[in-house]
């Protein structure tokens, strides 16, 4: 599972920084020494994308959880968290039934002037959402007489002001409940002295679209394609012989070295700005060979550099 630096834009270039905003803006108020302060997560997204399961996961991580607090009361709640000795981390659930969604960006800025705040936005594909509603037999919160698919389309449009300022876009289409919990646990769990920035390297195939949760996207289709070697076709970039083939080209090593150097420059600045999660995506044609091998190698390099890192493969055959 979609924590972002500008407004969302289509990711079409070979290397692109996602429209993620830093969790702690430059003008955030920093409490003076001795003053209690905390952290706030606003959890929102499309109905049926897993908000209730995610909220329970945050609660299990020690967050003080509140669901469906009216948007106009969020600044007062932020004041409460900042001044509390008991509440150090809180999560608020917000859904489409809130009446002030258009004003959310302004409310968010007010809250970020009080304490570090991140917005996590859960979404899923239309067919997955329709299937989930069919399985649970629950009505969509916006549904009146129209089809579920029409309600979903209306909700997507209505939630755009919140989605546009989200720090994390998490597509839960491929997650079950346990995978969603594991993703949130990996992203938000804290241990004393642990590196606060969690990195996720991801492989994908451009033929299936760019992952919406990606913060940095690298197009590796410039590398020779193992797909055209018959013995490699049924394999993936996790197989040793395919990985050795991909890594054997001088342009692969130069690309990895240059990308690693760039990330080592960027990551401390992301940490300084309060960013806690970064998804680095590598794309090839089908998401089976080149991108898989490079995502695995980059995860290894980042781990060796002292960062917490995990790897996932969106389109690799299972």
**E runs forming strands in the chain:** 15-17, 39-45, 64-67, 89-93, 117-123, 168-171, 198-205, 216-219, 277-284, 308-313
Contacts of residue 273, defined as CB under 8 A and 6 or more positions apart, other chains included, come to 5, 22, 23, 24, 26
Pairing of strands 117-123, 39-45: parallel
Is 248 labelled as part of a ligand binding site? no
User: By three-state DSSP, how is residue 266 classified?
Assistant: helix
d(CA 91, CA 184): 12
Is 294 annotated as ligand-binding? no
47 is in an annotated binding site: yes
Check the annotation: does 51 bind a ligand: yes
Pairing between strand 198-205 and 89-93? unpaired
Is 46 labelled a binding residue? yes
Q: What sign has the CA pseudo-torsion 226, 232, 238, 241?
A: negative
52 annotated to a ligand binding site: yes
The 10 Å Cβ neighbour count of residue 88 is 14
d(CA 318, CA 314): 10
Q: Is 167 annotated as a binding residue?
A: no
Q: Is 50 annotated as a binding residue?
A: yes
Tell whether 45 is in a known binding site: yes
Check whether 48 is labelled as a binding-site residue: yes
Distance CA 84, CA 77 (A): 10
Q: Which residues are annotated as a binding site for GTP?
A: 95-98
Q: Which residues are annotated as a binding site for ATP?
A: 45-52
Q: Which residues are annotated as a binding site?
A: 45-52, 95-98
């Amino acid at each position: 599972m979609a924590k972002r630096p500008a407004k969302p834009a289509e990711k079409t270039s070979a290397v692109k920084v996602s429209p993620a905003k830093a969790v702690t803006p430059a003008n955030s108020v920093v409490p003076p020494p001795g003053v209690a302060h905390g952290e706030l997560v606003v959890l929102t997204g499309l109905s049926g994308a897993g908000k209730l399961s995610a909220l329970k996961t945050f609660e299990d991580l020690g967050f003080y959880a509140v669901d469906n607090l009216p948007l106009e009361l969020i600044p007062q709640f932020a004041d409460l968290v900042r001044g509390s000795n008991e509440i150090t981390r809180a999560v608020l659930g917000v859904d489409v039934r809130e009446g002030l969604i258009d004003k959310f960006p302004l409310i968010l800025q007010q809250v970020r002037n009080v304490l570090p705040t991140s917005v996590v936005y859960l979404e899923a594909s239309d067919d997955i959402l329709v299937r989930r509603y069919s399985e649970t037999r629950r009505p969509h919160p916006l549904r009146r007489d129209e089809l579920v698919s029409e309600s979903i389309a209306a909700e997507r449009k209505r939630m755009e002001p919140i989605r546009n300022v989200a720090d994390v876009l998490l597509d839960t289409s491929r997650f079950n409940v346990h995978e969603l919990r594991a993703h949130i646990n990996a992203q938000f769990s804290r241990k004393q002295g642990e590196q606060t920035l969690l990195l996720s390297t991801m492989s994908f195939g451009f033929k299936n679209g760019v992952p919406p949760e990606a913060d940095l996207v690298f197009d590796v289709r410039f590398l020779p394609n193992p797909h055209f070697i018959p013995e490699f076709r049924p394999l993936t970039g996790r197989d040793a012989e395919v990985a050795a083939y991909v890594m054997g080209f001088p342009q692969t090593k130069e690309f990895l070295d240059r990308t690693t150097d760039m990330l080592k420059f960027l990551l401390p600045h992301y940490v300084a700005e309060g960013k806690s999660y970064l998804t680095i995506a590598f794309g090839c044609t089908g998401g089976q060979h080149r991108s898989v091998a490079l995502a695995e190698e980059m995860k290894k390099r980042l781990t060796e550099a002292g960062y917490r890192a995990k790897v996932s493969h969106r389109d690799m055959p299972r």
